[in-house]
């Protein structure tokens, strides 16, 4: 199954559960958000969900049978959240409740400032705009994030020229 097919199949399966569990605003971020926003050559490996801490705990309780308890998030010194990874979908889903990023100024909560709705199987899925995803990737600051931010900038520049 291609990454795009796995993403859409996973979302079709996950969205009813997310909609029934989450009470607060939430977004798909990361490579899945890039793919949903139309960014070419951004095959997602997982689905990153940014949500409130309370919603992350609710999802963990609701999907406890599917929890990948052996998985530890990368870059734990750079990020902190109420984290859970679920492995029952074609593509793993990672919930990050109350995600904070450590910057030179200290810990900062990740806030999505500009977003858009993408229709997935009659569900409105919120993702940051490509410009906002670029800002978030710069905030994350890892080499892979900065490389993705550069690809977004090049894509947006080409899209404005075309």
pTM of the model: 0.93
pLDDT tens-place string over residues 57-108? 999 999 999 999 888 777 768 999 999 999 999 999 999 999 999 998 999 9
Q: In degrees rounded to 5, what are phi and psi of residue 63?
A: -110, 25
CB 143, CB 126: distance < 8 Å: no
pLDDT band of 160, cuts 50, 70, 90 = low
Give the whole-angstrom CA distance, residue 89 versus residue 13: 7
* Mean pLDDT computed over 5-30: 96
Domain residue extents for the chain: 3-157
**Higher pLDDT residue, 70 or 12?**
12
pLDDT band of 162, cuts 50, 70, 90 = very low
Give the whole-angstrom CA distance, residue 125 versus residue 135: 20
Give the whole-angstrom CA distance, residue 86 versus residue 51: 15
Q: What is the per-residue pLDDT for 60?
A: 97
Tokens of 32: 């899945």
Whether domain 3-157 has CATH 1.20.1250.20: the reply is: no
* Mean pLDDT computed over 6-34: 96
A 10 A CB-CB count for 23 gives: 10
- Greatest distance between any 2 Cα atoms in the chain: 49
pLDDT band of 1, cuts 50, 70, 90 = confident
């Amino acid at each position: 199954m291609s990454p795009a097919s796995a993403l859409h199949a996973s979302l079709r399966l996950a969205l009813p559960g997310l909609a029934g569990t989450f009470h607060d605003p939430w977004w798909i971020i990361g490579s899945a958000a890039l793919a949903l926003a139309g960014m070419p050559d951004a095959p997602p490996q997982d689905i990153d969900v940014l949500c409130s801490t309370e919603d992350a705990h609710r999802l963990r309780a609701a999907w406890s049978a599917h929890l990948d308890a052996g998985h530890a998030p990368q870059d734990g010194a750079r990020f902190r959240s109420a984290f859970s990874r679920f492995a029952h979908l074609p593509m793993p889903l990672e919930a990050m409740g109350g995600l904070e990023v450590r910057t030179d100024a200290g810990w900062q909560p990740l806030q999505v400032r500009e977003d858009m709705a993408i229709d997935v199987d009659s569900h409105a899925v919120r993702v940051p705009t490509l410009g906002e995803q670029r800002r978030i990737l710069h905030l994350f600051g890892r080499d892979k994030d900065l490389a993705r931010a550069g690809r977004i900038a090049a894509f947006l520049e080409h899209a404005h020229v075309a």
